[in-house]
Amino acid sequence: MFNIVIFGAPGSGKGTQSDKLIEEYGLYHISTGEVLRDHIARGTELGKIADSYISQGQLIPDDLMIKVLEHVLDNTPEAEKGVIFDGFPRTIPQAKALKEMLSRHGSKVHAVVGLEVDDKELVDRLLKRGQMSGRSDDNLDTITRRLNVYHSQTSPLRDYYKEEGKYHAIPGSGEIDSIFSDIKTRLDAIKEDK
Ligand code: AMP
């Protein structure tokens, strides 16, 4: 099992780079944002709760979010070959829960790929994406709130994973393919080390 966390602010390119990583390493992709949007589209109880937070640019509470991820991990046999976690963890308690969950499966987070992009570019990208995606949270007001939430609640995870020696900072501006090639160089070195 080779597990990667793809980390970064909203709009930093996590989804785009995840698609390329899946192809390259044959990993299973878990995007908690996508899991929640699927529940919203199906009108489930969880979807109703999630919608009330997502549309406000707030995080879903840790307890609930951890249960959701645990359910996905425990019910997805394909996850055994390794997972790209996209959008999880977003808080320190989530990172601690992920560590415990993976250790129950006899595994761990091998690397955290941190896509680093400045706020101005993030806002431009998210506004553009909003015009095409129709996502309820890709409007200026919600984008600003999501970035604030990122800086206050999620970015402390960089230090958390730096202390574990797992954080790999990748400049996330520029060409998609050259960013991917940076990521691949880092990950290949880690895989060889294993
Ligand atoms: P994303 O698609 O990763 O940008 O996620 C969209 C929204 O889903 C976020 O702004 C949060 O409201 C919610 N969400 C996704 N993942 C998490 C998580 N790990 N913890 C809390 N909320 C989350």
Cα 177 to ligand 1 centre (Å): 25
Residue whose CB lies within 8 A of the most ligand 1 atoms, among 59, 129, 151, for a mutation test: 59
Cα 81 to ligand 1 centre (Å): 24
Q: Is 148 exposed, middle or buried (0-12, 13-18, 19+ CB in 10 A)?
A: exposed
Cα 185 to ligand 1 centre (Å): 28
Beta carbons within 10 angstroms of residue 190's beta carbon: 14
Residue whose CB lies within 8 A of the most ligand 1 atoms, among 17, 36, 142, for a mutation test: 36
Q: Pick the residue whose CA is nearest to atom 5 on ligand 1.
A: 33
CA dist 184 and 144 (Å) reads 31
Residue whose CB lies within 8 A of the most ligand 1 atoms, among 38, 84, 90, for a mutation test: 90
Query: Is the predicted pLDDT of residue 153 greater than 70, yes or no?
Result: yes
The confidence score (pLDDT) of residue 194 equals 61
Question: Was 32 annotated as part of a binding site?
Answer: yes
User: pTM of this prediction?
Assistant: 0.96
How far, in whole angstroms, is CA 185 from its chain's centroid? 20
- Computed over every residue of the chain, the mean pLDDT equals 96
pLDDT digits (tens, 9 = 90+) for 78-123: 999 899 999 999 999 999 999 999 999 899 999 999 999 999 999 9
Considering the chain, what percentage of its residues have pLDDT values greater than 70? 99
Q: Return contacts of 142-150, CB within 8 angstroms, 24+ apart.
A: 142/55, 142/56, 142/57, 143/10, 143/11, 143/57, 144/57, 145/56, 145/57, 145/58, 146/10, 146/57, 147/9, 147/10, 147/119, 147/122, 147/123, 149/57, 149/58, 149/59, 150/9, 150/10
Region 163-180: what's the mean pLDDT?
A: 97
Q: Pick the residue whose CA is nearest to atom 12 on ligand 1.
A: 54
Q: Are 110 and 190 in contact (CB under 8 A)?
A: yes
Region 9-29: what's the mean pLDDT?
A: 96
For each of the domains in the chain, give its residue range(s) and CATH number, in order of start: 4-181 (3.40.50.300)
Query: Is the predicted pLDDT of residue 1 greater than 90, yes or no?
Result: no
Query: Is the predicted pLDDT of residue 63 greater than 70, yes or no?
Result: yes
Look at residues 131, 149, 137 and name the one whose alpha carbon lies nearest to residue 91.
149
